[in-house]
Structure 1
Amino acid sequence: MSDDQHLSRVERRKRELEREQAQLNEQARHETIHHQTNEEDLERSESGKQEEATQGEHPFLHRADEQSSEPKKTARDIRKSKRKPKLTLPFGTKRKSKPRRDERREPRRQTREPERNHVKHEAVAPKGKPRRRKWKGKLLLVMLLLLIGVGYLATRPVTFLVMGSDARVGESLSGSRTDSLQLMEFVPRSRTVQNVSIPRDTYTAIPCEPDREGDKITHAFAYGGADCTVGAVEGLTETSVDGQVVITFETFMELIDLVGGVNVTATHSFSEKGFNQTYEYTEGVSYAMDGDMALAYARHRKTDTDGARSNRQTEVMSAVADKLASPTGWTKIPATYRFMKDEMGLEMNPLQMASIGMTMVLQPQVDKLQIEGEDAYIDNIYYYQPTEASVQAIRDALDLTVWGTVR
């Protein structure tokens, strides 16, 4: 009885082992099928990558590679299926499905990134335009304000003193006297020029002679040069002098020849000896004058007054300005400026030059004024004593606003 029970237990154990072996075989078969599907997915993903990397290759060559790889896959699968199943649990296998999905998505991300960058670039580009426009607008505004400021400064009245020295050709300015003095005020906005002639013997205070009450204004240049003369004129007229120039006989002739001569209509009939010849002038006749002829015309005073001589000097200088203001004389302006700066002691800034040039281009009305007075002798020395009414009238005429009106 015990043997039968023993045999029955053996049979039962055998049957249990057979059932366990069948379960293990079934699990091994399932694992093999699952492993094969995983490897096929992996190979498909790798083949997809190779197809994307080698899109330019010939399709038939690619098919041949696939066909050649298929037998190897089946042989390997057959060998794996013949192996004995291992007694391992199914949860011991590792799956790589997530990395495969990431690898499959990477090419799509790479292809989309340039499009996103392009879209961002297009979105950012319009933002730069308003900034450029704002920057350009600010620059234009600044330039407009500068032009307005320069235009305002260039249209302010400018006073200019012309000192004519009596130094002969080859003589030095040191110790010479002023043969003529002309104070001119240019007002561009009203297109007017106030031309004040100051006689050389005018009795007034001299800054460089503090010990004396007054002296002839022509002596100011002999004692203190151009600066002392400017101070004397400013004290007499109560006007600030903005620019100045000193003219000698020699520089006067060179200036006329530099601009190519001037055209002047004679306002008086007379004859005057120049350095080259004697010239005859008839009132109302226009003459094309060179430097020597213009100097003879400007310095004559034997048959005329000192005021008339100053007027003739103004006519010659106005003719020079008209010559430079004409289109044919524009090219001579730089050379003329350098000559006056180096040889005639010109003191004037660019804005003052612009104001004078603008006034002359507009063909202004020239108001000729002269200090009136009477002859006087002090310590047996002749002086020209100006009247208070005449001096006050000159001061009022020079005290103008930017519009040319009296203050």
Structure 2
Amino acid sequence: MKDDQRLSRVERRKRELEQQEIEASRLNHEQSTDERQNINEVSEPDRHQERTTSQSEHPFLNEKSSEASKSTEGTSKNRRKRMPRMLSFSKPKRKTSRPKSNHAAQQSRPSNPSKPSKGEVDQSAKPATKRKRKWKGKVALLLILMLLVGGYVATSPFTFLIMGSDARVGESLSGSRTDSLQLMEFVPRSRTVQNVSIPRDTYTAIPCEPDRDGDKITHAFAYGGATCTVGAVEGLTDASVDGQVVITFESFMELIDLIGGVNVTATHSFSEKGFNQTYEYTEGVSYAMDGDMALAYARHRKSDTDGARSNRQTEVMTAVAEKLASPSGWTKIPATYRFMKEEMGLEMNVLQMASVGLTMISNPDVNKMQIEGQDAYINNVYYYEPLEESVQSIRDALDLSMWGTVR
């Protein structure tokens, strides 16, 4: 009998659950299509839980099911009333107002994690742009500073010493003497060139001959090369030599041929034998000279003085500078500079070359000077003894500011 009662109670519980399901399904049909789908998704686990609960209340599975069934009889009516309320309470919001889930947010993110989003790109681009602008500003400031320094150096006076060796073609420079010495000061801002000719037999102190009071300045190159000669010239003129070059007969001819010859107007009438032929020069006539003809013109000294020969050498070197400064000679400047550097021992940087070029293309006033002196014999050896007044006037003329005025 007890078993029949228990079974009847179970049947009644099943009917109650079925009635609740019927009522829940009726309420679901009354809602909209979207809401009904959401309610079904939520209520399905609830129904599964209720079924699990009912199974757990089965008398054969749980000995306390009889007591639970008694308590549920009294509250079955209340449960019927509360069930719709529970369903309506768990009713989700509409899709339009429902926030995105974490899964949806993850799907909205870019698939490539290494690629930054637009906001991140904007934020990272701003500091990079600022750094780039600062870097460009520093480079521009540095360029302006370099131009100012370069312009200042290029327009400063530049003193250059030309040493003409008497070494013949094929002979070594070692032991040779300086056949001519030209000290040139270029002043770009005043468009002037100071050209001082130093006779080869000038008696002066020689740095590489400390045991002697003096000697011919031409011997300085034989005893100590270009360094000793520069020291002797600086001691004589009180000038600071900034650059130098050593010219031989052979390198002189090659230099003239390299730039395509020079145009020189003769300042004296004479004839001179070159390596190829004998040349005739007439005063006032302009000649297109190649290397051999220009050398014969520059080294002649039989019919006039040593100072006149020095002037002719200056005329040829000025013609070389004018040729390089002309538009047709611009393309020859790199090759000329390289040749003079390798074959003539040229010591001159780019800014110093600019100083010379700026001066020569401005049609400068050339102030030609020569150390004046008198013949003298010391221990039966001929010397050209310079006059103190002439030496002092040359020192004053070379002591110029960057504007070409005497300091």
Q: TM-score, normalised by structure 1?
A: 0.76
For the pair 1:105 / 2:100, whether they are aligned, the reply is yes
2:37 partner amino acid: R
The match for 2:272 is 272
Q: C-alpha separation between the residues in 1 aligned to 2:23 and 2:355?
A: 104
The match for 1:57 is none
Which of 34, 37, 44 aligns to 1:44? It is 37
Deviation for aligned residue 1:134: 3.7
The 8 Å contact of residues 162 and 244 in structure 2, kept in 1 or not, is answered as: yes
Q: Which stretch shows the higher mean deviation, 193-202 or 144-153? A: 144-153
1:274 partner amino acid: G
The 8 Å contact of residues 203 and 217 in structure 2, kept in 1 or not, is answered as: yes
The match for 1:384 is 384
- 1:88-116 per-position Cα deviation (integer Å, ceiling 9, x unaligned): 685998997679989862387568768x9
Q: C-alpha separation between the residues in 2 aligned to 1:297 and 1:261?
A: 13
- 1:263-290 per-position Cα deviation (integer Å, ceiling 9, x unaligned): 0000111111111111111111100001
Structure 1 runs of 4+ with >2 Å offset = 21-48, 83-114, 116-139
The alignment partner of 2:264 has SS state of strand
How many residue pairs get aligned? The number is 359
Q: C-alpha separation between the residues in 1 aligned to 2:120 and 2:209?
A: 83
The alignment partner of 1:179 has SS state of strand
Q: C-alpha separation between the residues in 1 aligned to 2:359 and 2:118?
A: 61
The 8 Å contact of residues 45 and 100 in structure 1, kept in 2 or not, is answered as: no
Q: C-alpha separation between the residues in 2 aligned to 1:47 and 1:277?
A: 121
Q: Which consecutive unaligned segments of at least 5 residues does structure 2 have?
A: 1-7, 59-68, 111-115
1:317-396 → structure 2 map (5 Å cutoff): 317-396=317-396
The alignment partner of 1:162 has SS state of strand
The alignment partner of 2:100 has SS state of helix
The 8 Å contact of residues 159 and 240 in structure 2, kept in 1 or not, is answered as: yes
The match for 2:64 is none
The 8 Å contact of residues 45 and 104 in structure 1, kept in 2 or not, is answered as: no
Deviation for aligned residue 1:23: 11
Structure 1 residues 290 and 221: CA distance shift in structure 2, 3 A:
same
Structure 1 residues 120 and 96: CA distance shift in structure 2, 3 A:
farther
The match for 1:219 is 219
- 1:218-238 per-position Cα deviation (integer Å, ceiling 9, x unaligned): 111111111111110010011
Structure 1 residues 105 and 174: CA distance shift in structure 2, 3 A:
closer
For the pair 1:180 / 2:180, whether they are aligned, the reply is yes
The match for 2:199 is 199
Deviation for aligned residue 1:354: 2.0
The alignment partner of 1:105 has SS state of coil
Q: Which consecutive unaligned segments of at least 5 residues does structure 1 have?
A: 1-16, 49-72
Structure 1 residues 43 and 196: CA distance shift in structure 2, 3 A:
farther
Q: C-alpha separation between the residues in 2 aligned to 1:100 and 1:308?
A: 112
- 1:40-68 per-position Cα deviation (integer Å, ceiling 9, x unaligned): 868735999xxxxxxxxxxxxxxxxxxxx
Q: C-alpha separation between the residues in 1 aligned to 2:287 and 2:231?
A: 37
